Amino acid sequence: ARVPMPEGPTAGTIEALREEARRCTRCDLHCMATQTVFGEGPVNAKVMIVGEQPGDQEDLAGRPFVGPAGKVFNEAVSAAGIDRTQFYITNAVKHFKYEPRGKRRIHQKPNMGEVQQCRWWLVQELDLVQPKLVVAMGATALFSLTEMRHKLEDVRGRPIAMQNGRTLFVTVHPSYLLRIPDLGRKAEEVARFKEDIVAIGRLA
């Protein structure tokens, strides 16, 4: 799989990149969001986790995966005996996209153009962190990382060789697990997600 490189000058450190991203106007999502939710974690992390985009709570906190999807993720990571803080955790899109409905903000999926614009940041995070393993959680992350629109099930749960000797691992997005109405199926899918996280721990 190929990750397209950004054109033009790039920031030299993750702190400089984060600072630049704070002022990002590459797409219109910055107009409505509270703040840019940039990646977090050690700059020398072996594993980079890529989600879709911040949700309501992430938008307010300014940190990735701190809301309900983050809770599902954290539980799977703890169950696998992994310390979350060893991962560099980021998103394909760094602003919350929503539709106001009364007092609520209803999450909306980023479109292809927004993902493509925001890839500018993800590619530079990859360049600076140089993770050995990149984990795409969900189709949006997978599309951002590979520009390919695979069915998740076709590529899920096994290491895939990328350029630069990197390995890609694809799993579902934890929000998907929250939306499964049938409790039996949900338990099965949560168990599969946990197996994927164990596999990630072994590959790291």
Give the residues lining the site for ligand URA (CB under 6 A). 51-55, 58, 64-65, 67, 69-70, 91, 175
Q: Which among 76, 83, 90 has a CA at the least distance from the CA of 198? A: 76
CB 135 within 8 A of CB 169: yes
| Residue 18 Cβ vs ligand URA, minimum distance, rounded to whole Å | 15
SS3 at position 106: strand
| Residue 53 Cβ vs ligand URA, minimum distance, rounded to whole Å | 6
| Residue 143 Cβ vs ligand URA, minimum distance, rounded to whole Å | 13
Closer to ligand URA by CB, 3 or 135: give it: 135
Closer to ligand URA by CB, 56 or 147: give it: 56
CB 11 within 8 A of CB 17: yes
Say how far apart CA 77 and CA 204 lie, in whole Å: 13
Say how far apart CA 114 and CA 170 lie, in whole Å: 21
SS3 at position 91: strand
The position carrying tokens 């999450």 is 107
Give me the residue whose beta carbon is nearest to ligand URA.
51
Closer to ligand URA by CB, 9 or 70: give it: 70
SS3 at position 89: strand
Closer to ligand URA by CB, 40 or 120: give it: 40
Closer to ligand URA by CB, 10 or 74: give it: 74
| Residue 75 Cβ vs ligand URA, minimum distance, rounded to whole Å | 14
Q: Are strands 160-161 and 167-171 parallel, antiparallel or unpaired?
A: antiparallel
| Residue 166 Cβ vs ligand URA, minimum distance, rounded to whole Å | 21
Both tokens of 121, joined, read 């940041």
